[in-house]
Amino acid sequence: MDFQMEQLAINGGKPVRQQAWPVWPASTTGLEEEVIRCLRSRRWTVSGFYQDEPSYEEKFARAFAAFNNVSYCIPTANGTSALLCGLQALGIGMDDEVIVPGLTWVACAVAVASLNAIPVLVDVDAATLCIDPEKVEQAITARTKAIMVVHLYSAVADMHALLRISEKYGIPIIEDCAQAHGATWEGKRVGTIGAVGTFSMQQGKILTSGEGGAVITNNQVLAEKIYSIRTNARKKVAVRPLPGYMELEDAGDSFASNYCLSEIACAILLNKLKTLEEENERRSSNRRLLGQLLETVEGVSMISSAPGTTSISTYHLPLRIELAAFGNITIKTLCEMLSAELGMWIHQPYIPLNKHPLYVTDDHRLSFYKEKLDTAKYQLPVCWKVYHSHLLLHHAMLLGNEKDMYDIVTSIQKIKTIVE
């Protein structure tokens, strides 16, 4: 195509993309019926009266455990509380150090700091954008109590190396799978490789109920702790109660909060889980095609997933950009140009945590720990390089057909021809 005479959409030209993208999140008749069934069940939370049938939270927990081939699943209010429950169950507390990737959503560090523990920020691997195992090992001290691994955007972290470190030092791994529902490594679902796995089902995530989360584990002791921590130190009664009675009783075995997920959200998830695998496959096949098409576009490449990855799930799809091939415009400008061509918000990766405004604030709760957190001491050069040289495509863009991938490539080529 000859773009030379054309205008960029951002300057009033005709956008390449003329159609809407697949809707996210989408509702279906089946989903709406499930929600209505839940509403009519008269039980809207696990702490509501038992109504002679398993709660939706139990049904979803079983289904998600089966999906992940894991023994226990405890749904939580959101991904942040899933991290809190997992960390607290691992015994993380005052002044313990938890290794956290420098490139991730702020919740990862905030969850650690909320337990009065210290997030130790570690740089990422340029190939996968996930935590760099070598840097993890360098950051270990006598106070390190857990390694938080995030399977970021659309990659699985290097679990071979991370497991070796975990075993060598006897430090458990907590896998944050908020962006990786259904991905597998050596045939196992992510979240089942470390001691505990956590998920977010917030609206942007690839399995969603608007807000929601879950923790999974194969360890019964951890599972019981997590249940209690989530449920104000309550546990399930041993024998199902009569209708109209509570299915929970006081256990009082932990200093616990309420992070229960509502029955309505669990009903949504129970329905949404049915299509996750198929959607993951569709995104993967579109992603493969896009990768092939981009091989001929100089200055644009895809990231990789760590060795051992057996299937990928795509949350945001990062594209690595050599800006010299784009007339040295900034990545921010390129994102804005591409957003205008594609009619979808294209943006940069997370601001690295050592300078993320939501993490480095003077809020008194954080300033209390300022000395201990000391974000200024971290450099995180790879995180910053990634921030300045990658852009992210939303997963909904991969849910449609092959033609959509051509629109993405055409948009990139159009911008390139005009700016270079």
Ligand X SMILES: *Cc1c(COP(=O)(O)O)cnc(C)c1O
- Using CB under 6 A as the criterion, which residues of the chain lie in contact with ligand X when the complex forms? 78-80, 104-105, 107-108, 150, 176, 178-179, 200, 202, 213
Whose Cβ is closer to ligand X: residue 104's or residue 348's?
Answer: 104
Output the six-digit token pair for 221.
């002791």
Contact 98, 148 (CB under 8 A): yes
Count of residues for the chain?
Answer: 420
Residue in the shown chain whose Cβ atom is closest to ligand X: 79
Output the six-digit token pair for 176.
């944050």
Residue 80: CB minimum distance to ligand X, A: 3
Whose Cβ is closer to ligand X: residue 112's or residue 360's?
Answer: 112
Residue 105: CB minimum distance to ligand X, A: 4
Residue 204: CB minimum distance to ligand X, A: 7
Nearest to 414 by CA among 18, 2, 10: 2
> Long-range CB contacts (< 8 A, 24+ apart) of 373-379?
373/113, 373/118, 373/119, 375/121, 378/102, 378/121, 378/353, 378/354, 379/123, 379/354
Residue 153: CB minimum distance to ligand X, A: 9
Residue 75: CB minimum distance to ligand X, A: 12
Helix (H, G, I), strand (E, B) or coil at 198: strand
- Reduced DSSP (H G I as helix, E B as strand, rest coil) percent helix, strand, coil of the chain, to 5: 40, 15, 45
Residue 154: CB minimum distance to ligand X, A: 12
Whose Cβ is closer to ligand X: residue 80's or residue 184's?
Answer: 80
Q: What are residue 184's DSSP bridge partners?
A: 189, 311
Residue 49: CB minimum distance to ligand X, A: 28
Instruction: Say if strands 300-302 and 213-217 run parallel, antiparallel, or are unpaired.
Output: unpaired
Q: Is 4 exposed, middle or buried (0-12, 13-18, 19+ CB in 10 A)?
A: exposed
Whose Cβ is closer to ligand X: residue 279's or residue 341's?
Answer: 279
Residue 167: CB minimum distance to ligand X, A: 24
Whose Cβ is closer to ligand X: residue 166's or residue 179's?
Answer: 179
**243 vs 388: CA distance, rounded Å:** 58
Whose Cβ is closer to ligand X: residue 92's or residue 412's?
Answer: 92
Nearest to 100 by CA among 392, 381, 378: 378
Whose Cβ is closer to ligand X: residue 84's or residue 408's?
Answer: 84
